Amino acid sequence: MAGSNTNKKNIDDKIFKEAIDDFDRFEDLFQENLKKILAGAVLLVIIVIIALVSWNIIKQAKFKASAALASASTVEELKSAIAKYPSSAGVYMARLRLGTAYMEDKKYDEAKGEFEKLASDAPDVEIKGRALLNAAYALAGMKKQQEAADKFAEIGEMEEMPVFIRDEANLEAGRIYFNLNEMDKAKKVLNLVSADNPNKFWARQAKMIIQKIDAGIPPLDKLLASNVSAPEKKPETKK
């Protein structure tokens, strides 16, 4: 019995000694690699700091670009901001406003060019649609009514455009065709508005023009012209 206890004690002593040896080896290993561990920790902290600083710089740059594009109002201010921040997310809206600024200055040719370039570049279909509409409005401003009506009608047939873009395009096409006394074309595009959105503003406007066509009411300028009587011809006097 005493021998059995002695053997058990020897085994326990051996296990304890091995555990102490393992701890000593771990301590030695830790001491040897302490500098590497500290260096790695410092490097990780530096990387995190750089990432945070970079993120903050990018955020501030985006805010600065957005503020500059949003605050610009005149043609020159908009052109300067667009040239300085061509990659900003807000640049497309700024370009839309640039074209509108040209329109307000009655520079319809410049406006049309800007809108057409924007329609080609814009990734967003709504901005693209608005640019196309505004280019057609610029044609109307240039007194190119037939070309403007045809352009509006073309936009109204673009299935990729949102319904409200097509509605506005078809209504404007119908309005101009009506004024040009092209009633068949006017009814065709105006009926597209009614079919798409019978309860919306554009549809109500379209129906009003259709009712005028069906009632045989001519465009206002034709009506005014018909009410102007020709000057009386004075009888010739014999000499």
53-107 pLDDT, tens digit per residue, is 444 444 454 454 566 556 776 889 888 888 888 878 788 988 999 999 999 999 9
pLDDT greater at residue 151 or residue 225: 151
Q: What proportion of the chain, given as a percentage, has pLDDT over 90?
A: 46
pLDDT tens-digit readout, 41-56: 555 555 555 544 444 4
pLDDT tens-digit readout, 171-183: 999 999 999 999 9
Rounded-to-integer distance, Cα 224 and Cα 227, Å: 5
Diameter of the chain measured on Cα atoms: 169
Q: What is the pLDDT of residue 6?
A: 53
Q: At what angle do helices 163-179 and 183-196 cross, to 10 degrees?
A: 160
